[in-house]
Amino acid sequence: MKASNVAMTGALAGLGLIAAYATWQRPKESASSSTTIKVLEASKQSLESLKYEDGQRFLTLKRVEGQLWLTSGWIPGKEPGPADAGPGTTLVALDGGLLPDGGAVDAGVIEVAVTPAKPPPPPTREVLANERAENALAKFMPLEATRALGSLSDEKLAELGLAGTDRRLELIVASTARVYRVAKTLPGIFGTYLQDERSGDVYLLSGSLFADFDPQSQVLVDRRLHVFKQSEFDRFTVNADGKEAVFLQTNAEIPSTAKVARAATPDKPDELVKNWHDKVWGRLIVTEVLGKGELPAGKAPTVALRLDYSQKGKPKGFLELGIGEGGAMWARSENTASWVAVHQGTDEIVIEAKKLVLEQ
């Protein structure tokens, strides 16, 4: 036999041994890899909420009166401490007494060590969830796995990242809580291992199932100011500084043909007002979303401008622009839980409204 044939035979034999060992080490599966295993039966009607914890923060999705709400915050006791700014000092004037004429004696200043005040932990926020959150939640209706591994030894649980994990998944289905331990992310493992805390059974889930459930991420937050389209209103009213102007919108099915005119002169389209409203409708950028009941720095902004929209005499929605501390601009509408921060330069929209829209 040629040396090359001997080498080939030995290589094939070695590969066979490796495959046999891997098969022997693999936990027993309850079904073939081509099928999915139902871990928990759930539907849009029965799945009441989903809560995911990463060890420090949590994220909850819950449907209330047909709307999907997202709540995120720090797990109690896991809030971060204040940033270490190092020892601080401040200058304090010395009291040198009074001069005969009643004036104060300048005795100079000294440095005094101070401890900065501890900032409060970031608040728990409850906001509206977006369509991406709906799609992410739908992956749990029902909850399915690619493999069922059954009950495993402590050694095997550690190997799969389930020993000592502080990641948790809680699903409320038909008023019953089901809790699962979620494996730590380990190199070389594709997918996510899950252990039912009640039965101890372990499952392998699709790798993308938890991709969106990072409690620190904002990808599931609804940042829209309105859910209705620009073509779904035919009238809007602008209010600022006690002045009001009413406008009609026509031919809005196609944006390029839309026209805006004052209600008093409906046959005279006003291109300048239309261009201004296009900025209001399509160019406001939401930079931060506050939760239900939350106010910027604990104080409501001063409303500087309000728009009210209607279609065939029925209200569709509203938009308010407010000025907060330091001149920061905020907005709220029928589709926000509270105020949302908007980009720098939004104050120009308010200024233009007062000059262009209301003073004519």
Full DSSP string of 288-353: EEPPTT--GGGSPPEEEEEEEEEETTEEEEEEEEEE-GGG-EEEEETT-SS-EEE-TTTHHHHHHI
- pLDDT for 22 equals 41
Task: Mean pLDDT check: name the lowest of 93-97, 319-323, 354-358.
Answer: 93-97
Please tell me whether the peptide bond between 142 and the residue prior to it is cis, using omega within 30 degrees of 0.
yes
CA angle, corner 338, sides to 300 and 309, nearest 5?
Answer: 100
Start-to-end C-alpha separation, the chain: 101
pLDDT at 359 over 70: yes
**Residue 207 corresponds to which amino acid?**
G
Cβ atoms of residues 137 and 210 within 8 Å:
no
Q: Which residues contact 266 (CB under 8 A, 6 or more apart)?
A: 248
- pLDDT for 33 equals 46
Secondary structure (3-state) at 278: helix
Per-residue pLDDT averaged across 305-333, rounded? Answer: 97
**Residue 303 corresponds to which amino acid?**
V
H-helix or E-strand containing 182? Answer: strand 176-182
Q: Which two tokens stand for residue 140?
A: 């749990």
| Phi then psi dihedrals of residue 349, to 5 deg | -65, -40
Name the pLDDT band for 356 (thresholds 50, 70, 90).
confident
Name the pLDDT band for 159 (thresholds 50, 70, 90).
very high
**Residue 200 corresponds to which amino acid?**
G
Report the helix count and the strand count for the chain, using DSSP H and E: 5, 21
Name the pLDDT band for 210 (thresholds 50, 70, 90).
confident
- pLDDT for 80 equals 85
So where are the chain's domains? 37-77+123-205, 230-357
- pLDDT for 9 equals 54
Distance between CA 149 and CA 193 in Å, rounded? 10
- pLDDT for 148 equals 96
Percent of the chain scored above 70 by pLDDT? 79
Per-residue pLDDT averaged across 208-213, rounded? Answer: 86
Secondary structure (3-state) at 10: helix
- pLDDT for 142 equals 95
Cβ atoms of residues 70 and 219 within 8 Å:
no
Cβ density class 329-341: b for 16+ within 10 Å, e for less: bbbbbebbbbbbb
CA atoms within 13 A on the CB side of 147: 14
Distance between CA 239 and CA 86 in Å, rounded? 49
The tens digit of pLDDT for each residue in 219-271 reads 999 999 999 999 999 999 999 999 999 999 999 998 889 999 999 999 999 99
pTM, two decimals, is: 0.78
Q: Which two tokens stand for residue 182?
A: 């979620």
Residue length of the chain: 360
Distance between CA 148 and CA 30 in Å, rounded? 6
The tens digit of pLDDT for each residue in 26-77 reads 444 444 445 889 999 999 999 999 999 999 999 999 999 999 999 999 999 8
- pLDDT for 174 equals 95
Name the pLDDT band for 107 (thresholds 50, 70, 90).
low
Cβ atoms of residues 202 and 208 within 8 Å:
no
Mean pLDDT of the chain: 86
| Phi then psi dihedrals of residue 200, to 5 deg | 85, -5
Distance between CA 148 and CA 37 in Å, rounded? 7
